[in-house]
Amino acid sequence: MTTPRFALNHMAAPRRDLAGFVALACELGIDAVEIRNDLDDTAIADGTPPGVVRATAEVAGLTILSINALQRFNDWTPARAAEAAALADYAAACGARGIVLVPVCDGTPKNQEKLERALSALKPILLQRNLTGLVEPLGFAFSSLRSKADAAAAIAAVGGEGVFRLVHDTFHHYLAGESQLFPELTGLVHISGVADDAVSVADMRDGHRELVAADDRLDNVGQIAALVAGGYAGALSFEPFAPGVHDLADPAAALRESMAFIGDRLNG
């Protein structure tokens, strides 16, 4: 029997402040969360000190899996280096285990040399603070890093297997059309579903990403089952971006239903 270990990305309930988000995780019996640096009026964008974030999580018995995210990480500049160091300092101080690394996604073409250069520069920053760099390929056609194979090759090229892990995002995996899964290199799984049967794959965007249910077009359950069969035993973190999810009056009920659906299908 497979018992999924669910986690909660703050994007699942962005209208809630840190305390409300933590309360939601506890209500669901979830013991691991991801916080974000791109949500206005809540931690960490509102200036909440890292010690407050750490204390809030510790009192609730929660593990902070990541801060999401260092954007444009593969466009390495002095400014990006300073941003990375500051975010890593915050992550270490708040008790987060890692930082999600998001590539440039504006039509810039793939550049493996720039990717390796960025990972090489990030490696000591992360090592000094005992953090994991969670590399998240984005499957959009305009992403500079679509493929987990490219990310895995770059990690190997810089000797970064002990520092970097892959994020398998079920939405982006589907968009990229990639067959390889890399469960042994996966450090985190982001889950969300797309139900809209009118949108083409090429036109799928974050706003289409809902909770996983029976009408999911992305085969989340199949992707998760394959990762588990390959040895992945980490967290499945809910990361929906759809406004309809964000506006739910009772997100706990909807999340609980999705958790039950995934669990039942994995063991069906």
Tens digit of each residue's pLDDT (9 = 90 or more) over 37-51: 999 999 999 999 999
Tens digit of each residue's pLDDT (9 = 90 or more) over 187-228: 999 999 999 999 999 999 999 999 999 999 999 999 999 999
Distance between CA 199 and CA 218 in Å, rounded? 12
Is residue 252 scored above 80 in pLDDT? Answer: yes
Asked whether the CA dihedral 174, 176, 180, 184 is positive or negative, the reply is negative
Residue 57 · residue 22 · CB < 8 Å: yes
Tens digit of each residue's pLDDT (9 = 90 or more) over 96-150: 999 999 999 999 999 999 999 999 999 999 999 999 999 999 999 999 999 999 9
Q: pLDDT confidence of 21, banded at 50, 70, 90?
A: very high
| 122: number of Cβ within 10 Å | 28
Tens digit of each residue's pLDDT (9 = 90 or more) over 54-110: 999 999 999 999 999 999 999 999 999 999 999 999 999 999 999 999 999 999 999
Q: pLDDT confidence of 2, banded at 50, 70, 90?
A: confident
Amino acid 18: pLDDT: 97
Amino acid 95: pLDDT: 98
Amino acid 268: pLDDT: 80
Amino acid 115: pLDDT: 98
Helix boundaries (H) for the chain = 18-27, 50-60, 78-94, 112-127, 148-157, 170-176, 220-229, 243-246, 251-266
Q: pLDDT confidence of 243, banded at 50, 70, 90?
A: very high
Q: Is the pTM of this model over 0.95?
A: yes
